[in-house]
Protein backbone atom coordinates (compact mmCIF):
# COMPACT_ATOMS: atom_id res chain seq x y z
CA UNK A 1 0.00 0.00 0.00
CA UNK A 2 2.62 2.61 0.84
CA UNK A 3 4.49 1.60 -2.28
CA UNK A 4 1.46 2.34 -4.42
CA UNK A 5 1.11 5.82 -2.97
CA UNK A 6 4.73 6.89 -3.13
CA UNK A 7 6.70 6.49 -6.33
CA UNK A 8 10.14 4.88 -5.81
CA UNK A 9 12.16 7.91 -6.87
CA UNK A 10 10.19 10.12 -4.52
CA UNK A 11 10.71 7.60 -1.73
CA UNK A 12 14.45 7.79 -2.31
CA UNK A 13 14.47 11.55 -2.09
CA UNK A 14 12.32 11.54 1.02
CA UNK A 15 15.31 10.33 3.05
CA UNK A 16 16.84 13.76 2.83
CA UNK A 17 13.78 15.37 4.32
CA UNK A 18 13.13 15.94 7.97
CA UNK A 19 10.03 17.25 9.63
CA UNK A 20 11.15 19.70 12.25
CA UNK A 21 9.06 21.88 14.48
CA UNK A 22 10.02 25.45 15.02
CA UNK A 23 9.21 25.08 18.64
CA UNK A 24 10.36 22.58 21.16
CA UNK A 25 8.49 19.38 21.04
CA UNK A 26 6.54 18.66 24.12
CA UNK A 27 5.74 15.03 23.72
CA UNK A 28 6.70 12.31 26.09
CA UNK A 29 9.19 9.62 25.32
CA UNK A 30 12.32 9.62 23.26
CA UNK A 31 12.32 11.35 19.92
CA UNK A 32 14.43 13.38 17.61
CA UNK A 33 13.11 16.80 18.43
CA UNK A 34 14.43 19.23 20.96
CA UNK A 35 12.23 19.53 24.01
CA UNK A 36 12.03 21.44 27.22
CA UNK A 37 12.09 18.33 29.30
CA UNK A 38 15.50 17.29 30.46
CA UNK A 39 16.92 13.84 30.35
CA UNK A 40 19.40 11.82 28.38
CA UNK A 41 20.55 13.61 25.31
CA UNK A 42 23.33 15.38 23.57
CA UNK A 43 22.54 19.01 24.30
CA UNK A 44 23.95 19.97 27.75
CA UNK A 45 21.42 21.50 30.06
CA UNK A 46 22.81 21.66 33.64
CA UNK A 47 24.68 19.97 36.46
CA UNK A 48 22.84 19.10 39.59
CA UNK A 49 23.82 17.43 42.82
CA UNK A 50 23.62 13.67 43.00
CA UNK A 51 20.56 12.33 44.65
CA UNK A 52 20.16 8.80 45.75
CA UNK A 53 18.44 6.87 43.04
CA UNK A 54 20.31 8.47 40.19
CA UNK A 55 22.03 6.06 37.91
CA UNK A 56 25.70 5.88 38.71
CA UNK A 57 26.59 6.05 35.03
CA UNK A 58 25.04 9.49 34.79
CA UNK A 59 27.52 10.88 37.37
CA UNK A 60 30.12 13.13 35.73
CA UNK A 61 33.27 11.38 36.90
CA UNK A 62 35.66 14.00 35.53
CA UNK A 63 33.94 16.67 37.59
CA UNK A 64 34.08 14.37 40.62
CA UNK A 65 37.83 14.12 40.08
CA UNK A 66 38.14 17.89 40.17
CA UNK A 67 35.61 18.72 42.86
CA UNK A 68 35.42 15.49 44.89
CA UNK A 69 31.63 15.75 44.81
CA UNK A 70 29.06 13.84 42.88
CA UNK A 71 27.35 15.78 40.15
CA UNK A 72 24.87 14.46 37.69
CA UNK A 73 25.09 15.83 34.17
CA UNK A 74 21.70 16.59 32.68
CA UNK A 75 21.00 17.17 29.02
CA UNK A 76 17.92 18.34 27.10
CA UNK A 77 15.97 15.37 26.12
CA UNK A 78 14.98 14.87 22.42
CA UNK A 79 11.28 14.29 22.18
CA UNK A 80 8.99 12.95 19.51
CA UNK A 81 6.72 15.31 17.60
CA UNK A 82 2.95 15.19 17.47
CA UNK A 83 1.94 15.58 13.83
CA UNK A 84 -1.63 16.04 12.74
CA UNK A 85 -2.45 15.68 9.05
CA UNK A 86 -5.63 17.46 8.06
CA UNK A 87 -6.93 16.50 4.62
CA UNK A 88 -9.57 18.49 2.88
CA UNK A 89 -11.91 15.87 1.35
CA UNK A 90 -14.56 18.20 0.02
CA UNK A 91 -15.83 17.67 -3.50
CA UNK A 92 -13.61 20.38 -4.89
CA UNK A 93 -10.63 18.11 -4.24
CA UNK A 94 -12.01 15.90 -7.02
CA UNK A 95 -10.54 18.35 -9.48
CA UNK A 96 -8.16 16.74 -11.96
CA UNK A 97 -6.34 17.93 -15.01
CA UNK A 98 -7.61 17.47 -18.52
CA UNK A 99 -4.29 15.85 -19.33
CA UNK A 100 -4.52 13.37 -16.43
CA UNK A 101 -8.17 12.92 -15.54
CA UNK A 102 -7.35 9.96 -13.28
CA UNK A 103 -5.22 11.97 -10.88
CA UNK A 104 -7.43 14.11 -8.69
CA UNK A 105 -6.17 16.60 -6.14
CA UNK A 106 -7.26 14.27 -3.39
CA UNK A 107 -5.16 11.44 -4.82
CA UNK A 108 -2.18 13.72 -4.70
CA UNK A 109 -3.08 14.76 -1.15
CA UNK A 110 -3.23 11.08 -0.18
CA UNK A 111 0.22 10.52 -1.64
CA UNK A 112 1.59 13.58 0.09
CA UNK A 113 0.12 12.35 3.37
CA UNK A 114 1.80 9.00 2.80
CA UNK A 115 5.10 10.80 2.22
CA UNK A 116 4.78 12.84 5.39
CA UNK A 117 3.79 9.76 7.39
CA UNK A 118 6.80 7.98 5.94
CA UNK A 119 9.10 10.72 7.16
CA UNK A 120 7.38 10.88 10.55
CA UNK A 121 7.69 7.13 10.95
CA UNK A 122 11.41 7.35 10.23
CA UNK A 123 11.79 10.07 12.83
CA UNK A 124 9.78 8.19 15.41
CA UNK A 125 7.13 10.89 15.56
CA UNK A 126 3.52 10.33 16.37
CA UNK A 127 0.98 11.12 13.74
CA UNK A 128 -2.75 11.26 13.30
CA UNK A 129 -5.06 11.93 10.36
CA UNK A 130 -8.29 13.78 10.07
CA UNK A 131 -10.22 14.03 6.80
CA UNK A 132 -12.61 16.91 6.56
CA UNK A 133 -15.90 16.09 4.82
CA UNK A 134 -15.49 13.21 2.36
CA UNK A 135 -17.48 10.09 1.67
CA UNK A 136 -16.59 8.38 4.94
CA UNK A 137 -15.59 10.12 8.16
CA UNK A 138 -11.96 9.66 9.01
CA UNK A 139 -10.29 10.65 12.25
CA UNK A 140 -7.36 8.55 13.44
CA UNK A 141 -5.81 9.59 16.74
CA UNK A 142 -2.11 10.05 17.27
CA UNK A 143 0.01 6.97 17.17
CA UNK A 144 3.33 5.75 15.94
CA UNK A 145 4.88 2.76 14.35
CA UNK A 146 4.49 0.92 11.07
CA UNK A 147 1.19 -0.64 12.04
CA UNK A 148 -0.26 2.76 12.77
CA UNK A 149 1.01 3.99 9.43
CA UNK A 150 -0.62 1.08 7.62
CA UNK A 151 -3.86 1.71 9.41
CA UNK A 152 -3.77 5.37 8.49
CA UNK A 153 -3.11 4.69 4.83
CA UNK A 154 -5.72 1.96 4.62
CA UNK A 155 -8.37 4.17 6.12
CA UNK A 156 -7.29 7.05 3.94
CA UNK A 157 -7.65 4.93 0.81
CA UNK A 158 -11.33 4.49 1.57
CA UNK A 159 -12.07 8.17 1.67
CA UNK A 160 -13.36 9.73 -1.51
CA UNK A 161 -13.78 13.48 -1.80
CA UNK A 162 -17.41 14.49 -1.48
CA UNK A 163 -19.59 17.14 0.03
CA UNK A 164 -18.91 20.68 1.04
CA UNK A 165 -16.98 22.18 3.92
CA UNK A 166 -18.95 21.43 7.10
CA UNK A 167 -20.67 24.33 8.71
CA UNK A 168 -21.12 24.95 12.41
CA UNK A 169 -19.07 24.23 15.50
CA UNK A 170 -18.19 20.60 14.86
CA UNK A 171 -14.81 21.61 13.67
CA UNK A 172 -14.03 23.71 16.64
CA UNK A 173 -14.37 20.55 18.71
CA UNK A 174 -12.11 18.68 16.32
CA UNK A 175 -9.58 21.49 16.59
CA UNK A 176 -9.74 21.24 20.35
CA UNK A 177 -8.46 17.65 20.19
CA UNK A 178 -5.23 18.88 18.69
CA UNK A 179 -2.83 19.65 21.51
CA UNK A 180 -1.28 23.06 21.53
CA UNK A 181 2.26 21.79 20.99
CA UNK A 182 1.33 19.68 17.98
CA UNK A 183 2.37 20.34 14.42
CA UNK A 184 -0.56 20.59 12.06
CA UNK A 185 -0.19 20.07 8.29
CA UNK A 186 -3.28 21.02 6.33
CA UNK A 187 -3.69 19.79 2.73
CA UNK A 188 -6.44 21.68 1.00
CA UNK A 189 -7.18 23.79 -2.04
CA UNK A 190 -8.29 26.61 0.27
CA UNK A 191 -10.97 27.60 -2.25
CA UNK A 192 -13.51 27.68 0.54
CA UNK A 193 -13.00 30.56 2.93
CA UNK A 194 -13.98 28.33 5.84
CA UNK A 195 -10.87 26.23 5.26
CA UNK A 196 -8.56 29.13 5.84
CA UNK A 197 -10.71 30.34 8.72
CA UNK A 198 -10.24 26.96 10.38
CA UNK A 199 -6.50 27.14 9.88
CA UNK A 200 -6.46 30.68 11.21
CA UNK A 201 -8.16 29.57 14.39
CA UNK A 202 -5.75 26.71 14.89
CA UNK A 203 -2.80 29.02 14.44
CA UNK A 204 -4.37 31.62 16.67
CA UNK A 205 -4.76 29.00 19.39
CA UNK A 206 -1.00 28.44 19.39
CA UNK A 207 -0.58 25.38 17.20
CA UNK A 208 2.16 25.40 14.68
CA UNK A 209 0.36 25.14 11.37
CA UNK A 210 1.68 24.37 7.92
CA UNK A 211 -0.53 24.72 4.87
CA UNK A 212 -0.09 23.09 1.50
CA UNK A 213 -2.39 24.45 -1.17
CA UNK A 214 -3.29 21.83 -3.73
CA UNK A 215 -3.63 23.23 -7.22
CA UNK A 216 -4.45 21.61 -10.52
CA UNK A 217 -2.33 22.44 -13.53
CA UNK A 218 -5.52 23.47 -15.34
CA UNK A 219 -6.10 26.09 -12.69
CA UNK A 220 -2.60 27.40 -13.16
CA UNK A 221 -2.68 27.37 -16.99
CA UNK A 222 -6.38 27.46 -17.89
CA UNK A 223 -5.93 25.56 -21.15
CA UNK A 224 -9.63 25.57 -22.04
CA UNK A 225 -10.98 26.91 -25.30
CA UNK A 226 -14.39 27.30 -26.89
CA UNK A 227 -17.73 27.45 -25.18
CA UNK A 228 -17.62 25.84 -21.75
CA UNK A 229 -20.05 25.27 -18.96
CA UNK A 230 -18.00 25.18 -15.80
CA UNK A 231 -19.62 23.39 -12.92
CA UNK A 232 -18.58 23.79 -9.35
CA UNK A 233 -18.47 20.26 -7.86
CA UNK A 234 -19.43 21.51 -4.40
CA UNK A 235 -22.23 23.95 -4.99
CA UNK A 236 -23.17 22.77 -8.50
CA UNK A 237 -23.07 26.39 -9.53
CA UNK A 238 -22.67 26.79 -13.28
CA UNK A 239 -20.95 29.37 -15.34
CA UNK A 240 -21.34 29.44 -19.12
CA UNK A 241 -18.48 31.30 -20.65
CA UNK A 242 -16.29 31.54 -23.70
CA UNK A 243 -13.16 30.02 -22.23
CA UNK A 244 -10.57 31.80 -24.31
CA UNK A 245 -12.17 35.14 -23.52
CA UNK A 246 -12.05 34.75 -19.77
CA UNK A 247 -8.60 33.16 -19.59
CA UNK A 248 -6.52 36.25 -18.92
CA UNK A 249 -9.01 37.57 -16.42
CA UNK A 250 -9.19 34.24 -14.61
CA UNK A 251 -5.43 33.83 -14.45
CA UNK A 252 -5.03 37.31 -13.01
CA UNK A 253 -7.75 36.88 -10.43
CA UNK A 254 -6.67 33.40 -9.47
CA UNK A 255 -3.05 34.46 -9.07
CA UNK A 256 -4.23 37.34 -6.89
CA UNK A 257 -6.23 34.93 -4.73
CA UNK A 258 -3.21 32.65 -4.33
CA UNK A 259 -1.01 35.59 -3.44
CA UNK A 260 -3.59 36.79 -0.91
CA UNK A 261 -3.67 33.35 0.72
CA UNK A 262 0.13 33.25 0.91
CA UNK A 263 0.12 36.72 2.44
CA UNK A 264 -2.47 35.81 5.04
CA UNK A 265 -0.53 32.71 5.97
CA UNK A 266 2.70 34.65 6.30
CA UNK A 267 0.94 37.20 8.49
CA UNK A 268 -0.19 34.42 10.83
CA UNK A 269 3.21 32.75 10.89
CA UNK A 270 1.87 29.80 8.92
CA UNK A 271 4.28 27.98 6.68
CA UNK A 272 2.64 27.93 3.28
CA UNK A 273 3.52 26.15 0.07
CA UNK A 274 1.72 25.33 -3.13
CA UNK A 275 1.58 22.03 -4.89
CA UNK A 276 0.55 21.78 -8.55
CA UNK A 277 -0.54 18.36 -9.70
CA UNK A 278 2.14 17.98 -12.34
CA UNK A 279 4.98 18.48 -9.86
CA UNK A 280 6.99 15.78 -8.11
CA UNK A 281 5.55 14.83 -4.73
CA UNK A 282 8.59 15.78 -2.70
CA UNK A 283 8.92 19.27 -4.18
CA UNK A 284 6.27 20.93 -1.94
CA UNK A 285 7.55 19.10 1.13
CA UNK A 286 11.04 20.33 0.38
CA UNK A 287 9.76 23.89 0.16
CA UNK A 288 7.74 23.45 3.30
CA UNK A 289 10.41 21.86 5.50
CA UNK A 290 13.66 23.21 4.10
CA UNK A 291 13.76 26.23 6.38
CA UNK A 292 12.86 24.06 9.35
CA UNK A 293 15.37 21.38 8.54
CA UNK A 294 18.23 23.79 8.95
CA UNK A 295 18.02 23.59 12.74
CA UNK A 296 18.19 19.87 13.05
Stretch that binds other proteins, among 64-72, 149-157, 177-185, 247-255 (CB under 8 A): 247-255
CB of 228 to other proteins, least distance (A): 5
The neighbouring-strand residues paired with 214 are 275
Q: Burial, 118: exposed, middle or buried (Cβ in 10 Å; 0-12, 13-18, 19+)?
A: buried
CB of 162 closer than 8 Å to CB of 91: yes
In angstroms, the CA 49 to CA 71 distance is: 5
Q: Does 197 bind other proteins (CB under 8 A)?
A: no
In angstroms, the CA 65 to CA 206 distance is: 46
Alpha-carbon distances, residue 201 vs 81, 118, 147, 247 (angstroms): 21, 28, 32, 34
The neighbouring-strand residues paired with 116 are none
Q: Does 242 bind other proteins (CB under 8 A)?
A: yes
Q: Does 219 bind other proteins (CB under 8 A)?
A: yes
Give, as ranges, the residues between 127 and 186 that touch other proteins (CB under 8 A).
none
Stretch that binds other proteins, among 3-11, 253-261, 268-276, 282-290 (CB under 8 A): 253-261
Q: Does 240 bind other proteins (CB under 8 A)?
A: yes
Q: Does 213 bind other proteins (CB under 8 A)?
A: no
Give, as ranges, the residues between 93 and 112 that touch other proteins (CB under 8 A).
93-95
Q: Burial, 182: exposed, middle or buried (Cβ in 10 Å; 0-12, 13-18, 19+)?
A: buried
Q: Does 286 bind other proteins (CB under 8 A)?
A: no
**Number of residues in contact with other proteins, rule: CB under 8 A?**
32
In our burial notation (b when 16+ CB lie closer than 10 A, e otherwise), range 123-138 reads: bbbbbbbbbbbbeeeb
CB of 38 closer than 8 Å to CB of 27: no
CB of 282 to other proteins, least distance (A): 25
CB of 267 to other proteins, least distance (A): 22
Contact residue for other proteins among 76, 218, 274, 282 (CB under 8 A)? 218
Q: Does 22 bind other proteins (CB under 8 A)?
A: no
Q: What value, to the nearest 5°, has the Cα angle with vertex 99 and ends 98 and 104? A: 70
Stretch that binds other proteins, among 10-18, 51-59, 170-178, 213-221 (CB under 8 A): 213-221
Contact residue for other proteins among 63, 166, 224, 293 (CB under 8 A)? 224
Q: What value, to the nearest 5°, has the Cα angle with vertex 197 and ends 192 and 202? A: 135
Q: By C-beta, is 46 or 235 nearer to other proteins? A: 235
Give, as ranges, the residues between 57 and 96 that touch other proteins (CB under 8 A).
91-95
Contact residue for other proteins among 15, 69, 177, 239 (CB under 8 A)? 239
Residue in 7, 83, 2 with CA at minimum distance from that of residue 282:
7
Q: At what angle do helices 146-158 and 105-123 cross, to 10 degrees?
A: 170
Q: By C-beta, is 60 or 221 nearer to other proteins? A: 221
Q: Does 257 bind other proteins (CB under 8 A)?
A: yes
Interface residues with other proteins (CB under 8 A) are: 91-95, 189, 191, 216, 218-219, 224, 226-234, 237, 239-242, 245-246, 249-250, 253-254, 257
Amino acid sequence: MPNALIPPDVRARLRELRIVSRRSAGGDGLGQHASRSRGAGLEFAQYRAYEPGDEPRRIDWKLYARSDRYFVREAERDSPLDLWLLLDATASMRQADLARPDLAKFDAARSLAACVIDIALRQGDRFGIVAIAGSTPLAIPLGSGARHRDRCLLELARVQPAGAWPQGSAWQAAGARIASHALVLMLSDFFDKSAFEFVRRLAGAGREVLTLQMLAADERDFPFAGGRRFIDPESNAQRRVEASAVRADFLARFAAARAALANDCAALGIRHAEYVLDEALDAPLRRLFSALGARA
